[in-house]
Amino acid sequence: MRKFQKTAIAAAVAQIAVAYSGAAWAQTTNTSAEEPVVPATQVVKVSGQRAALQSAQKLKQNSDEVVDSIVAEDIGKLPDRSVTEVLQRIAGVTMDRNMPGDPNRQAVEGSGVSVRGLTYVRSEVNGRDAFSAGGGRSLGFADVAPELMAGVDVYKNPSAEQIEGALAGLVNLRTAMPFDFKGLKGSLGVSQTYSELNKAKGPTGALLLSNRWNTPLGEFGALVDFAYAKNPTRTDAIGIDPYFPHVNSRNPAQYNRDATKWLPLGGGLRSQDFERVRRGDYAAFQWRPTRDVTAGLTYFKTDYQEDLSERVVASSEDKWYQQVAGADTVYDDKGAFQSGTIANPTYGGSPFNSSRRINQRTSGTRDLALNVQWRVTPDLTWTNDIQHVRSTTEGFDADVSTGFILPNQSMDLRGSIPKIGLGSAEFMADPKNYYWAYTQEALDRAKAEQKTWRSDVKFSFDDPVLRDIRFGVRMADREGENNKAQKFYNWSSITFPWMEGWQIPGVARLSDPRFAGGTELAQIDNFFGGKVSIPAMLYPTDALARDFPNGWTKLHGYHTILCQEQAAAQGWGTCDTWKPSTFDTPSARNLQTEKTRAAYTQLRFGFDDLKYPIDGNIGIRYVKTTNTTNGYIAYDPTNVSIPGDVPVEGVDTLVNIAKFETPRSTDTGYHNWLPSLNLRMKVSDQLQFRFAWAKAMSRPDFNQLQSLTTLSSPANQLTIKDPVTLADQRVVFSGNNLTGNSDGNPLLRPTTATNIDLTAEWYFAPGGSLTFSAFDKDIKNIVVNTTYGYTVKDVNGQDRTFAVTHPINGAHGFARGFEIAHQQYYDFVPDWLRGIGTQASWTYVSSERKLDKPVPAAFCAGSDQSNMNLSINGCDTDGRPFGNTPLQGLSRHTVNFAVMYEKNGLSARLAYNWRSRYLVAVNTWGSRGNNGLNTNPDAGARFLIPTPNNDQAYGLPLWQDDYGQLDGSIFYDFTDKFRIGLEAQNLNNAKTRQVMQQHAGMFTRQLFMSGPRYTIRAQYSF
């Protein structure tokens, strides 16, 4: 690594020295050519959003590749409040509105982008690699201050010259450089954002200063840019749990699947207050010692702090087969619950939790880069670029919960907003109805660092056909460390009713002075804009949720108090104490290094003498990748509880394997050849056609490559029940379910694709265009989950094989479709309408994913570790699979439409973005579990009998429903330098709906509402 750094730095320094010593000092004269004088009657001043559209159109028209751009009207004037929201305005680009890795919560500003339906998107800042720590390869676009950006480019079929990794597309964020301006340039912007749902305000400020000077040592330029934004938002949500099959009979001879009634396990409500404080710092320095040498040094830093505080009311029902629907229940024609009441007589009602969840995250990315460009001769240019990126992130996710039991839960799911009924105001405010239930926490931290050197040479030809040839090399070394204090969440019970009588004498009720404190009676005001009423309830306090681990130790001490009482009464041993998550275990640490070595050559050419001139480029890129991954494989024996109140069989079949935690290291390497061809035919100055063909690759994310495998051995325990009364008759053990799960697979290879684009582009006016693009992506090596056998020896030396789930390159597919885009200002309209314009685009994408080795099983079988259908096809709560699922994150239709107006200093825009339904995930938290019903007639004793030992897994496909949002802005320029305006997001108060797929129908899983946001903004530029 040190040798690489020294070599890269020495090459850049040598280039400056050679170029500087071999050329005369630059003179301070203006070398630009005289421009013709334009008569005053022909001068048309174009500025603001119209000028930005014209600039973006010129970039698209003159590019060698298929590219779409958005250009800022002026410094700090991108048209939206976040980079993610800006990107969704581009044809074929869509925004994910879920929090990263958590589809059960909404990200108001968006969390990620897809290009033409695919998430294999590569991100850059000024043409250089950019990423956020935590296991991914891309930059979190919502985490970048939009005030720092001069423009955004999306390359949809990158050429060999571009850095590899953009299978779906390449997003390049461009910042300003001091030599972009003629001299002194400055901008100061301030704004205040107001969120209507939570009545909160957040300030934003941005400052830019830039200047350039001529000196005896050459021309110098300096630019600094600072941005700060505080963005408080609120999201309300109503959730419905999966529906479970209540069969007409558990007697196989009388069972009729069509007579099944489907009841949701329960419903819940949540209100989330979220605040992101985002800061961006940027500095750029340029030096031109001669007219042939330019050096640039840039410093780019973006960091943010997120804080979430959430109140949650959720069903905690765990025995769906004991639920009973009330006489008032209404079903649809498929037997699915629509409205009524549900209760569990075993609990005396329906168990619920009232929780306080907090989530804190601090992240930052710093990018330092040096670029030197030397025009060695008029035909030869040599460029060197050195970059160092460092990114860190640290998060704490915590949940503290109380519990209560309602006499029954009432729901009405027939309207657009589900109605979840709770108890009376008196019931919900009474501490004696609540008990301390559980805590859960997740801690993570990660850091990543990359050093890069890139050297490019361009040689121009004096030839009627050949334009230039470009070639270069790139070396990048990246190191990453991810730490998780636990694999998932450290869920720990405090007291529950199911513990009573054998572990504790009773639950820790809030009305007991020993267990009082740490809660508050709170009313969630304006829930769903006042359309849904929630009674005041007792929730854990925000301060308690944040008091980890001290306050949590006290909570779990309540269980110890009660457990000791039970132990003393029954004469058994000691009680286990709670242990918080820590980073002390070796398996919490995962280290990875990756080295890439790339070389490319690309030839530009043109046939200008043809009737319809053709130009383009052809090239090939070679890249070699080597990875080293360090991790662990760990096994912790699963405790088996032997019942003492019913006959037990098969205890001698249980395995005995000693606990272990073994380190392992994996070295891998692969190489890829990536050819590309871009052709453009100019029918006229206005009409042109393009053809693009390229091979592309996208490496697996680092969290998919990590080497961490955990093994478990829950007992295969079958409880034989009376088919009528469901009373336990006997328990049969048949060995252990030896399973495992790998967080990643260091042997994964890149996903690859062959991309084809065909476009027609008509530029009929400055800022006016009509374009069409058809595309096809043939994709291979898609990552899916499967199982393999891992063998260990038990204490007797006998081999035991675990079925371990891990990701592999196991599928192929395609994404193909077309884009139509139009933009125009209408200068032919009456004078009072002059200045009006529109933008519109429609993207259609069809996709398919096929498994290399299909899983044709008619029924899902087994736990969540051994069930092959689960993560690939999805499994219903009755054990039936859903068949092949499409590519995730891909909407078939995406529409953008905007009306713009600009005249006499007034600038306004109304923009509507809509995308059709898409698959979010299969087998994700909230719509998965292990307590389904096996309706496979070949299941033997498990057929139609609920098994409380959780051996029938289900995982439902989760879909994001159609969503359309209207945003707007209006600004007035009081002078050429000063403007004030108002921006608004979600003017139509759109709600985000997630639906879960089941055989009985598509049911609402979550409904989110964040409400409109308004921003008043003032900007002064000079």
Tens digits of residue pLDDT in 321-352: 999 999 999 999 999 999 999 999 888 889 99
Phi, psi of 499 (to 5 degrees): -85, -15
Which of the four pLDDT bands, split at 50, 70 and 90, describes residue 4? very low
- Bridge partners, residue 193, by sequence: 202, 1015
Written as one string, the DSSP assignment of 100-131 is TTEEEEE-TT-SEEEETTB--EEEEETTEE--
Per-chain mean pLDDT for the chain? 88
Cα–Cα distance, 1012 to 754 (Å, whole number): 42
C-alpha distances in Å from residue 697, one per residue of 157, 277, 694, 876: 11, 35, 10, 34
pLDDT score at 867: 65
Nearest to 73 by CA among 151, 182, 132: 151
Q: What is the pLDDT of residue 47?
A: 59
* pLDDT of 419 strictly over 50: yes
Q: Can you give the pLDDT at residue 682? A: 96
What band does 470 get if pLDDT is binned at 50, 70 and 90?
Answer: very high
Q: Which of 217-221, 561-565, 720-724, 949-953 bottoms out in mean pLDDT, i.e. has the lowest?
A: 720-724
Which residues are registered as beta bridge partners of 372?
Answer: 295, 384
Instruction: Assign 3-class secondary structure to 387-447.
Output: EEEEEEEEEEEEEEEEEEEECCEEEECCCCCCEEECCCHHHHHCHHHCEEEEEEEEEEEEE
The residue whose two tokens read 């390359």 is: 155
User: Is pLDDT of 12 > 60?
Assistant: no
Residues 541-565: what's their mean pLDDT? 95
Q: What is the pLDDT of residue 978?
A: 95
User: Given this model, what pLDDT does residue 26 score?
Assistant: 35
pLDDT of residue 224: 96
d(CA 843, CA 894): 5
Give bridge partners of residue 401 from the DSSP assignment: 355, 438
Q: What is the Cα–Cα distance from 160 to 623, expressed in whole angstroms?
A: 11
Q: Higher confidence at residue 886 or residue 128?
A: 128
Does residue 806 register a pLDDT over 50?
Answer: yes
> pTM for the complete prediction?
0.88
Query: Greater confidence, 927 or 21?
Result: 927
* C-alpha R_g of the chain: 31
Look at 136-140, 267-271, 592-596 and tell me which has the smallest mean pLDDT.
136-140
Tell me what pLDDT residue 866 has.
Answer: 56
Contact 123, 84 (CB under 8 A): no
Model confidence at 76, pLDDT cuts 50, 70, 90, reads low
C-alpha 278/C-alpha 81 separation (Å) is: 12
Over the stretch 689-733, which tens digit does the pLDDT of each residue have?
999 999 999 999 988 898 888 888 877 777 676 666 656 677 778
CA-to-CA dists, residue 383 to 285, 295, 468, 658, angstroms: 17, 10, 15, 59
DSSP state letter for 531: T
Q: Is the pLDDT of residue 528 over 70?
A: yes
Q: pLDDT value at position 29?
A: 34
Amino acid 586: pLDDT: 76
If you average pLDDT over residues 47-71, what whole number do you get?
87
What percent of the chain stands above pLDDT 90? Answer: 64
Tokens of 783: 């990552």
Short-list 942, 1017, 996, 952, CA closest to 252: 942
Task: Please write the tens of the pLDDT for every residue from 892-924.
Answer: 999 999 999 999 999 999 999 999 999 998 888
pLDDT at 30: 36
**C-alpha span between 332 and 324 (Å, rounded):** 17
pLDDT greater than 70 at residue 949: no
Q: Determine the pLDDT at residue 117.
A: 84
Using alpha carbons, list the distances in angstroms from residue 480 to 137, 593, 699, 781.
11, 6, 15, 24
Measured CA to CA, the distance from residue 739 to residue 789 in angstroms comes to 9
C-alpha neighbours within 13 Å on the C-beta side of residue 592: 31
**Tokens linked to 73:** 């009207």
User: What are the Cα distances from residue 452, in Å, to 6, 365, 413, 870?
Assistant: 12, 15, 55, 41
Helix (H) or strand (E) holding 551: helix 550-570
pLDDT at residue 786 in the model:
81
Q: Write out 698-767 in H/E/C secondary structure.
A: ECCCHHHHCCEEEEECCEEEEEEECCCCCCEEEEEEEEECCEEEECCCCCCCCEEEEEEEEEEEEEEECC
Categorize the per-residue pLDDT at 885 as very low, low, confident or very high, splitting at 50, 70 and 90: confident
Q: What is the mean pLDDT of residues 581-603?
A: 90
The Cα 386–Cα 454 span in angstroms is: 6
| Residue 513 dihedral angles phi and psi, to the nearest 5° | -55, -25
pLDDT band at 234 (very low <50, low <70, confident <90, very high): very high
Q: How confident is the model at residue 75 (pLDDT cuts 50, 70, 90)?
A: low
- Check residue 19 and give its pLDDT: 39
Q: Per-residue pLDDT averaged across 163-170, rounded?
A: 93
Supply the pLDDT for residue 107: 80
